[in-house]
């Protein structure tokens, strides 16, 4: 009986780790400069992170399947990427374009 309980307990501890992957990448601007603090979000699971000082990011425990990755930063146009997560995935370098706002002049 003790042995059965032990095996069941160990099985439940391992189950959450199965099918969880790691998503990595780097966010830069249109000149190739890193964007620290950019938001990186997986829309389907409402999970996200911010980029590090070098523009890099790591999302842990990403479940397998289709995912939409949304990257945004103040002053830049947001970007969305459609991904198929089947294992650890490096999306590479993601470039954001500067958003130009044209205002009206008040005299």
Residues 35-81: pLDDT tens digits? 999 999 999 988 899 999 999 999 999 999 999 999 999 999 999 99
- Structural contact between residues 61 and 20, judged by C-beta atoms closer than 8 angstroms: yes
Please check the confidence at residue 13 and state whether its pLDDT lies above 60: no
Alpha-carbon gap, residue 69 to 65, rounded angstroms: 12
pTM comes to 0.75
Buried-exposed string 55-77: b where 16+ CB fall within 10 A, e elsewhere: bebebeebeeeebebebbbeebe
Beta carbons within 8 Å of 53's beta carbon, 6+ residues apart: 34, 36
Helix residue ranges per DSSP H, 1-97: 2-14
């Amino acid at each position: 009986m003790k042995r059965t309980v032990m095996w069941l307990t160990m099985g439940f501890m391992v189950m959450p780790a199965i099918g969880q992957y790691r998503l990595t990448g780097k966010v830069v601007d249109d000149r190739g400069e890193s964007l620290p603090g950019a938001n990186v979000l997986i829309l389907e699971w409402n999970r996200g992170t911010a980029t590090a000082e070098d523009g890099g990011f790591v999302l842990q425990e990403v479940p397998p399947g289709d995912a939409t990755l949304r990257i945004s930063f103040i002053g830049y146009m947001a970007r969305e990427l459609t991904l198929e997560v089947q294992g650890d995935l490096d999306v590479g370098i993601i470039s954001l374009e500067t958003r130009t706002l044209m205002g009206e002049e008040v005299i």
